[in-house]
Structure 1
Amino acid sequence: MSTPAFPSKTTLEPSIARWKTPGVLDALQTRRVVLLAGARQCGKTTLARALHQPQAVIYRTLDDVALLAAARADPHGFVAHGNGLMVIDEIQRAPSLLLAIKKEVDENPTPGRFLLTGSANIQSSPGVTESLAGRVAHQRLRPFSAGEIARVAPAFLARAVREDWAGLASSFTAVPGHAPAAPLSGKDAVLMQALRGGYPEVQSLSDKSVRRWHQDYVQALMARDLQDIAHIRRKDSMAKLLEVLAAWSCKLMDVSAIGGQLALARPTLESYINALEALFLVERVRPWAKTDYDRVSKQDKLIMTDTGLVTSLLRWQFDKLRLDADQSGKLVEGFVFTQLAAQLDAQDEPHSLTHYRDREQREIDFVIETPDGMTIGVEVKAGSAVGADSFKHLVWFRERMLQSGTPFVGLVLYTGEHVLRFGEHLWAVPMHVLWGA
């Protein structure tokens, strides 16, 4: 039986500027090796090829069977070159290259000699002992954000810090060939974009074709990339686990409860979840824990990294979804996570993204901490109505959890159309601010 092929790369992708491009270019100016990692088909290869003129770059993809064989047979000869840039695509398929690259860049430390792309966390590959510590800059690429599709800069965090909400467009702007077929506003716009997800290839497909693309994508991952990073004996259980995790997305991590739906021993289940994390399909949001308050939850929040995959795996339909408060709430929260994560990845300095929950069921969906010490609390509401009660957990958190004098902004992102002030540093903000200019 032949190995399933990955869905073809989109021809529309090059027209979309990626928020990570400046970060990758800056890293190539100062670091010997840059590793651009992210899920399959999120646009890593296109970004890498767009950085320089093709004639100035040595480009080698390890999806090519002959090149992969050469890399494994003679790692040092494969990576040897001058001061120019060598791009090696899908580095996780030949982990032995890392030692050869280390030797090469130690002998010639000129910056910008290697750009590696990986569709799996290279440190998760069997037998990897070399981390390239001190030599490599790590860059994460995600599927398209709504802001990238709308061709705007990642301005949300700067607006939140300044509490500047002036001059924003009042609705979702459809981009021909990429966004939903007709311009929509409010909740419907968010749900339509979340149903499609951010993978470049799906943006121009019909709704039916989007679901088929996601199914083919998962099938190919199970058949190919999983084998590079883990020895999965029961592919049927892994496929079922992915569906369970889609239903679990945006909930607190509970391995025992997840395992109750599968006939897997806990160590096996944990190794399978780790493998899906290594493929950038699921992600953990750590709990906010800067406190001695012993009633704060220490559980991670599990989130699937593309909402389109969630809806395809669960076979959700727009007409039913928009009327189901539980499903739409979960989907909108996951969609907001993907947008916030893309915004954070685009920043020059690292920001932390956590969540807060305690035993009294006080919960803040996302807590962002900036490098200069500001804390931004974000609550997500799928509905278009907002009131003072929507801010009660944010107010409690500000007054009881933060040290006196810590700058704090509390935001409720909702699907209405107006920016509304509910007290000092407390704002109800339309969700379209995440992709607004």
Structure 2
Amino acid sequence: MIHAPRQCGKTTLAQQVGRRRGFRYYTFDDAATLAAARADVTGFVARLERRAILDEVQRVPELFAALKPTVDANRASVRLILTGSSNVLLVPRLSDSLAGRIEILRLYPLAQIELERAPPAFLNALFSDRQIFPPGRTLLGQLLETFVFGEIAKQAAAHPERIGLYHLRDKDGYEVDIVVQRGTQHVGIEVKAASSVHEADFRGIKRLRELLGVRFHGGIVLYDGDHVLPFGERLLAVPLSALWSRIPRRTAHIAD
């Protein structure tokens, strides 16, 4: 199943993959198809081709239970591509229907690195022994933490290793916008929509370093500036454009 927000490209992707392999396309955005499935979902499933695309399946939640016997009886031959714009894992009784029979692919909107045609190197740079970032400047205007979090989340979803994304705020008011975890190592990220960085901007990251000890890999402040600047051991100010820029073999690094 391809799970993605509307207008994200999931239908186009399903059709591009399916048509080359002889899949028949059905969409529940079509009023007649939706009415037929709701009126007799068992009969609708029984008449499906062995290879079919079912688009916007969240509109017919009872479909999942009806698909179960068909999939179980024809595991070797039945291949279905489902798409949905809401989380079908929240559909009641899904765990009793297609659990173990469905693989969910999360499709995100285009990341800035894709628009820039650059490889997703930011996360690898975060956890390299020599954290390397390119110089640069971005003119994104009112850049919000949600934009940065979204860009990192898209890269994390495609990363070969498991990447955890968290937020820190403790009882003393110390805060880190994004904490990125890979294995036992953590990197703190602060987001600043300004062209300058000050020592105080690392306040939360330094607190994170105290809490984590050897599990602290480094910390960066992403800012709207031109240069990569060191602010102490394993602390850097990094241009926001590092999120989607090509990472050179050697530029500024946190620690030798």
> For residue 74 of structure 2, what is the aligned residue in structure 1?
108
SS of 1:397's equivalent? helix
> For residue 409 of structure 1, what is the aligned residue in structure 2?
218
Tell me whether 349-358 or 70-79 shows the greater mean CA deviation: 70-79
Matched, 1:341 2:153: yes
CA 1:106–1:424: 2 relative to 1, 3 Å: farther
Deviation at 1:52, TM superposition (A): 4.2
- Asked if 2 retains the 8 angstrom alpha-carbon contact of 1:420 and 1:428, the reply is yes
> For residue 67 of structure 1, what is the aligned residue in structure 2?
33
> For residue 184 of structure 2, what is the aligned residue in structure 1?
373
In 2, the alpha carbon distance for the partners of 1:117 and 1:410 equals: 38
Matched, 1:393 2:240: no
> For residue 269 of structure 1, what is the aligned residue in structure 2?
none
> For residue 158 of structure 1, what is the aligned residue in structure 2?
124
Matched, 1:190 2:140: yes
CA 1:60–1:368: 2 relative to 1, 3 Å: same
- Asked if 1 retains the 8 angstrom alpha-carbon contact of 2:135 and 2:239, the reply is no
CA 1:352–1:91: 2 relative to 1, 3 Å: same
- Correspondence list, 1:126-275, <5 A: 128-131=92-95, 132-162=98-128, 163-165=130-132, 168=134, 170-171=136-137, 186=138, 189-191=139-141
In 1, the alpha carbon distance for the partners of 2:15 and 2:107 equals: 14
In 2, the alpha carbon distance for the partners of 1:112 and 1:426 equals: 53
1:265-312 residue CA offsets vs partner (Å, 9 max, x unmatched): xxxxxxxxxxxxxxxxxxxxxxxxxxxxxxxxxxxxxxxxxxxxxxxx
In 2, the alpha carbon distance for the partners of 1:75 and 1:101 equals: 9
In 2, the alpha carbon distance for the partners of 1:123 and 1:170 equals: 41
- Asked if 2 retains the 8 angstrom alpha-carbon contact of 1:411 and 1:428, the reply is yes
Deviation at 1:164, TM superposition (A): 4.0
In 2, the alpha carbon distance for the partners of 1:118 and 1:44 equals: 8
Matched, 1:430 2:239: yes
In 2, the alpha carbon distance for the partners of 1:38 and 1:359 equals: 36
Q: Percent identity at matched positions?
A: 41
SS of 1:375's equivalent? strand
In 2, the alpha carbon distance for the partners of 1:407 and 1:397 equals: 8
- Asked if 2 retains the 8 angstrom alpha-carbon contact of 1:386 and 1:414, the reply is yes
Tell me whether 375-384 or 69-78 shows the greater mean CA deviation: 69-78
Deviation at 1:55, TM superposition (A): 5.5
Tell me, which stretches of 5 or more residues in structure 1 are unaligned? 1-34, 172-185, 192-327
In 1, the alpha carbon distance for the partners of 2:73 and 2:7 equals: 34
- Asked if 2 retains the 8 angstrom alpha-carbon contact of 1:169 and 1:436, the reply is no
Tell me, which stretches of 5 or more residues in structure 2 are unaligned? 247-256
Higher helix residue share? 1
Which structure has the larger Rg over C-alpha atoms? 2
RMSD: 2.3
Letter in 2 for 1:388: E
In 1, the alpha carbon distance for the partners of 2:53 and 2:179 equals: 36
| TM-score, scaled to structure 2 | 0.84
1:313-364 residue CA offsets vs partner (Å, 9 max, x unmatched): xxxxxxxxxxxxxxx4xx5212112211211222234322110112322100
SS of 1:117's equivalent? strand
Higher strand residue share? 2
SS of 2:2's equivalent? strand
Matched, 1:76 2:42: yes
CA 1:153–1:51: 2 relative to 1, 3 Å: farther
> For residue 91 of structure 1, what is the aligned residue in structure 2?
57
In 2, the alpha carbon distance for the partners of 1:52 and 1:133 equals: 23
